[in-house]
Chain A
Amino acid sequence: MNTILECKNLSKSFGSTKALDGINLTIEKGRIVGLLGPNGSGKTTFIKICNELLTPTSGEVRINGFTPGVETKKIVSYLPEKTYLNDWMKVSQIIRLFQDFYADFIPEKAYDMLKRLNIDPNSRLKTLSKGTKEKVQLILVMSRDAQLYLLDEPIGGVDPAARDYILDTIISNYNENAAVILSTHLIADIEKVLDDIIFLKEGQIVLNKTVDEVRDESGKSVDALFREVFKC
């Protein structure tokens, strides 16, 4: 069993709006997958369903054979689009909280990354800038020894140097038994790190290929192809 995530005919409607429209998808362990699409294409809805924050209107998602719930939360490390951490807490307190919450959390890894990014573990979250808060959140997520990382816009809010560090972290944390799915608009920065790309358009998958397949077949980067497919 090498499949970590499987979607069958997954759909989600909000009233008359179809946010996801019949998604069929299989993701294998050991892959780094980019979920790419313009605003409102369904990226966040998909990731939220995988984390049981939304329920599908029809169809299903299975993660390691389970529908999203307690069993999947043990093995899925999720970076939400918005921060949910308490502002008054110190970074070190949040690390302790994560340690209590997740059996696979490795505090040494978190402290190591904080040091590399020059973030003081004793600072309270509310004293940190928006970008630094996002870095802290990502550090927490990447410090788990999870089987599936679901990262919703992990590089959107940070400066280019921190972006490089984050990509470097994803590469060095690479594990053939774990998969990473990340959504982003910043394709040019990230495409060299990806195995596969999925283009979402109006809730449907319009392209699901490897980065090198795209480059080989179109003679273009994924970034250039994206601009063409989603030309406004």
Chain B
Amino acid sequence: MPWELKNDRPIYAQLIEQIELKICSGVYTPGSRLPSVRDLAREASVNPNTMQRALAKLEEDGLLYSTRTSGRFVTEDDNMIYQVKSKLAQEQMRDFLKNMRQLGFENKEILSMLKTMLEEVKQ
């Protein structure tokens, strides 16, 4: 999963979202050790201080924890990961609805189109 950073928003906030996404999608599994700040910064081609700030925030939120000697780990609390997952899902849905309304669709239409699409994708 490559790092995708957009130009119009703070890099720090985007790094937080991308790491959350990587945790929710299982790129970083619960309890696993994260690469070092420097390696993560290299991977994402970002400033190491910015990466450090993003990791510190995730740690403050409880999604990551660090030990003095052996590095930084993903939480083992499945419930917490699930909460982040629903937060990300809600953001996605909000964006989707905003775009659909911009195209001029009503709730009813959106719902039926979504149902049809789900059927199609299943096959």
Contacts and interface: CB of A to CB of B under 8 A. Distances in A.
Contacts of A216: 10
A63 to B, nearest CB: 21
B11 A211 contact: yes
Interface residues of A, number: 23
Given A195-B47, A212-B12, A212-B50, A221 B7 contact: yes
Interface string B25-50: 00000000000001001101111111
A215 B50 CA distance: 13
A193 B9 CA distance: 15
Given A215-B8, A221-B8, A223-B7, A192 B38 contact: no
A171 B45 contact: yes
A171 to B, nearest CB: 5
Contact of A220 (B8, B41, B45): B8
A171 B49 CA distance: 10
Contact of B11 (A174, A188, A215): A215
A157 interface: no
Interface string B7-19: 1111111000000
Nearest to A169: B42
Interface string A70-104: 00000000000000000000000000000000000
A219 B8 contact: yes
Contacts, number: 56
A4 to B, nearest CB: 15
A73 B48 CA distance: 26
A224 B8 CA distance: 9
A112 interface: no
Q: Which of A168, A212, A223 has the most CB of B within 10 A?
A: A212
B58 interface: no
Interface in B44-71: 44-50
Contacts of A164: 45
B7 A224 contact: yes
20 contacts: A30-B49, A31-B49, A164-B45, A167-B45, A168-B42, A171-B41, A172-B38, A188-B7, A192-B45, A192-B46, A211-B47, A212-B11, A215-B8, A215-B9, A215-B10, A215-B11, A219-B9, A220-B8, A221-B7, A224-B7
Interface of A: 30-32, 164, 167-168, 171-172, 174, 188, 192-195, 211-212, 215-216, 219-221, 223-224
